Copies of this chain bind each other. A is one copy, B any other.
């Protein structure tokens, strides 16, 4: 009889609307599942990865799930503890939906469930951010935090690299339509597309949009949300890396979406609706618009993932 933990964490939309590096939203799915078994040989190893098309490294030190699991073990487990890890990718890679974050978070909560179920999620966040540092070059929290905590969150700066995660109110009946075109955008390229400075009046624009967006979500005012999804910080520079962007956003609006924008660093485009049927129509319209721009795409609809990451124990 071996005790295993199965962690599950889902896709997330970072950089939501005007909220570059600040606002992140958790979806219900798709989800990555990470199964962890503890060992006493002090080694952390990735046994198997499914669903990645062979693209992810099995070397645990080079895999964000391995890094997050090791972080938890090094700080909270008995000396000599190791782990065997199975990773099932439900998220597409390079989509802008927080694929690496979902793996890091699922690995962290699964490992913690075996090592010490009382580790606060605020502490596990640091394990997940180390995974993110490996995958993206810096410990951005705007995918890992919503994947871990669920719902809509704001990442507030703390001392040095520390962050505080602020849960924000979001209507329960939002349904998102999400379309991923059949091309990738490397996070590094998306970062390189950004200027280092921006005009103050554009920053003022995004600040006003954030005030309105946060208020619109908290008061379930979809008209206000619709007016406050505009972004002048990253989208104007990154949409050049996402052929079809303007047509797909227009198609989403045309099909009844409250608003639409780039998910994370793209190329996936999200649209917000307040109704599952509309979300299906919007998803279809987005796929058609990508096709019109010359690209196949895959679309899905998802409610907001209010619960965040989960871990279950299994004996087998």
Contact yes or no, A166 B212, CB < 8 A: yes
Query: In chain A between 193 and 208, which residues have their CB closer than 8 angstroms to a CB of chain B?
Result: 194-200, 203-208
Task: Enumerate 27 A-B pairs (CB-CB under 8 Å) in ascending A order.
Answer: A20-B204, A21-B204, A21-B208, A154-B208, A154-B212, A156-B209, A156-B212, A156-B228, A157-B205, A157-B208, A166-B211, A166-B215, A166-B224, A168-B211, A194-B200, A196-B199, A197-B197, A198-B198, A203-B203, A203-B206, A204-B233, A206-B207, A207-B207, A207-B210, A210-B210, A214-B214, A218-B218
The answer to whether B194 and A197 touch across the interface, beta carbons within 8 angstroms, is no
> At the interface, yes or no: A155 with Cβ under 8 Å from chain B?
yes
> Among the interface residues A197, A205, A227, which one has the most CB atoms of the partner chain B within 10 A?
A197
B-chain residues with CB within 8 Å of residue A168 when the two chains form the complex: 211, 215
Contact B18 A208 (CB under 8 A): no
Interface string of A94-127 (1 = CB under 8 A from B): 0000000000000000000000000000000000
Among A166, A204, A211, A224, the one with the most B-chain Cβ atoms within 10 Å of its Cβ is: A211
Contacts known (A212-B156, A214-B214); A195 close to B200, Cβ less than 8 A = yes
Chain B residues, CB < 8 A from A164: 227
State the Cβ distance, A162 to closest chain B Cβ, in Å: 12
Please tell me if A22 contacts chain B, counting CB pairs below 8 Å. Answer: yes
Contacts of A200 in B (CB 8 A): 20, 194-198, 233
Taking A19-B207, A20-B207 as given, write out 5 further A-B residue pairs in contact, using a Cβ cutoff of 8 Å, ordered by the A residue number: A157-B208, A197-B198, A198-B198, A204-B233, A210-B210
Residues of B within 8 A of A166 (CB): 211-212, 215, 224
Q: Looking at the complex, which one of B18, B195, B197, B224 makes contact with A207 (CB distance below 8 Å)?
A: B18
Task: Report the separation of the CA atoms of residues A195 and B215 in the bound assembly, to the nearest whole angstrom.
Answer: 29
Say whether A269 faces chain B, with CB atoms less than 8 Å apart.
Answer: no
A15 CB → nearest B CB, Å? 10
Q: Does A87 contact B (CB under 8 A)?
A: no
- Minimal Cβ-Cβ distance residue in B for A203: B203
A148-165 interface bits toward B, Cβ cutoff 8 Å, 1 = contact, 0 = none: 000000111100000010
Q: How far is the CB of A202 from chain B (nearest CB, A)?
A: 8
Question: Using an 8 Å CB-CB cutoff, how does the interface string of A239-281 with B read, 1 for contact, 0 for none?
Answer: 0000000000000000000000000000000000000000000
Residue of B nearest to A199 (CB): B197
